[in-house]
Chain A
């Protein structure tokens, strides 16, 4: 445990000093502030931020995560030569990356909101927590990619493709399915398929907390009914937890078995 904290501390120091995380923090800070200045209305700010967060957090987490893992490879090899358990090293470096990324995002959003105040507290909290959850998920995926693929450029490319799949292509597939099976009642199926993708799941849970849910008509009403119920919230929450845990466990297993 002592060792875990030591490594985590080192990782945190290392990452906090990195310009990337500071730039990431500054970006969210400036964007939130600018949105506030230009629109003033906090629910509009939230919708704008949702768009940016859902696009950027998975992208940055997965790309930065893979690059960071490749870069710290030599350090890991060095540490593994010491009497350090692999489990401990892995968890510490995973947390050491996830925490600063989440913190940068939360701080970047929180400071302007503290300054200007908000009336939409529930959607704001959901936006914050989904950003944090997405960081956790995509860092996990990044570690899997970096562990599976030794070639750095190929790994980063694959990370980009994985992001592209969850962020863009997946929704395209959903649309294709809606078009192809438009004669069938698709609502239940849509609930299932959109909760399989963490980005979609976050997007929909945030949106259902806004007024714009009314625009989504009948399907939106069904979603609201489902995700508004305790059962639906439970499903959404456990789905996201599974999305955090499963990549984490897979990466950990790969790490333990890896022949450095």
Chain B
């Protein structure tokens, strides 16, 4: 019997060894898959339409990944796709319903001729880019002729030093109904750029330290901009040749420099600017050729110029805004004025309110003579804070001769408007 037990024991022992070696070899083969990693290009080309590829970590030194079928790529544990500054676009999406999520994409080749992007969505619809990270991208996400796409929760960080060697964070061209939300964009040329966009929704984005504009759009009608934050951008925010836009509850802050604007409006009409904060900009709002814009319930605080409105702007309405501690509240380049200012609060107002209805009894003239002179002859600006200029301003205030007669707030608020 003991012999049998020995045999049993030995066979058990041997089978254990076989089992464990098998287990360990099977482990080894799995590891091999990881180290000799399948390329992302192969994964994409082998996938069937509507497949979901899940990348669990990993490093993919690839670019030029082209997607011609509806596909979802989800990254878990921070997979990195590194373009190594070679080739063209890292992802090129040419089909509807492609989603990318949770990927880190970095080092897009900078090129003077091609607008290489980390993700380029070309002529495709219902695409999504969610929660991705873009590091040192030339262009981050480039949408061309695409619609109904979502760009949500992404982070962009680039290190361009000149306008010429930097691309835009989110770039839209001829695209409509795009939803851009919760993105953080830093160090690009323009944070968000739209050209020929339509009915896009841009909300809760944070655009900071970009070389040129935090937000820049042209010919992009009927778009909405809500709760965005634009700070420290080379030239602030510029919006041009567009109508029916709404800019609500955005913050434009610290855009300071000789050619920086909080918000530059050029040929914008029938739009609404409501509840925004303009803080510490060289110019809060610069308006050239804007028509029928309603500017209400905004705060203009500590800007060089609260608003600079050229005489080719007309039928604009400024109401219920707070103008606090700006060097100049309003500047204009002409005695003509076709805009209305009613019921704003001006920290420079020194009038009185006898009947205590909350509105000042004397109209307020927000245009200082000096700012008018300076906008006609720029070198005059050198006399800023000169005693002569102070005297001139006082004289003009008492007996206005040169400043626009009609540019007055006939009902200035006595208290800061909440």
Contact = CB atoms under 8 A, between A and B. Distances in A.
A219 B386 contact: no
A182 B377 contact: yes
A214 B258 contact: yes
B336 interface: no
Interface string A206-234: 01000110111111110100000000000
A179 B377 contact: yes
A179 B380 CA distance: 9
B138 to A, nearest CB: 30
B258 to A, nearest CB: 5
B260 A214 contact: yes
Interface stretch (A3-11, A50-58, A126-134, A240-248): A50-58
A161 B231 CA distance: 48
B213 to A, nearest CB: 17
A204 B382 contact: yes
A interface SS class = helix
Interface stretch (B150-158, B217-225, B387-395): B387-395
B381 interface: yes
Contacts of A207: 384-385
B327 interface: yes
A216 B327 contact: no
B377 A211 contact: no
A169 interface: yes
Given A220-B258, A221-B258, A215 B388 contact: no
A174 interface: yes
Contacts of A50: 385
A212 B304 contact: yes
Given A171-B388, A174-B383, A214 B377 contact: no
B258 A219 contact: no
Given A212-B327, A217-B378, A47 B387 contact: no
B387 A219 contact: no
B382 A169 contact: no
A217 B390 CA distance: 20
A31 to B, nearest CB: 16
A174 B387 CA distance: 13
Interface string A149-180: 00000000000000000011111101100110
Interface string A178-219: 110010001100100010000010011001000110111111
Contacts of B2: none
Given A55-B387, A171-B387, A172-B388, A214 B304 contact: yes
A214 B378 CA distance: 13
A215 B389 contact: no
B257 interface: yes
Interface in B348-402: 373, 377-391
A214 B257 contact: yes
B386 A200 contact: yes
A175 B380 contact: yes
Contact of A167 (B258, B373, B385, B387): B387
17 contacts: A54-B387, A55-B387, A171-B387, A171-B388, A172-B388, A175-B380, A178-B377, A194-B382, A203-B385, A211-B256, A214-B256, A214-B257, A214-B258, A216-B258, A218-B378, A219-B381, A223-B382
B284 to A, nearest CB: 13
Contacts of A169: 388
B251 interface: no
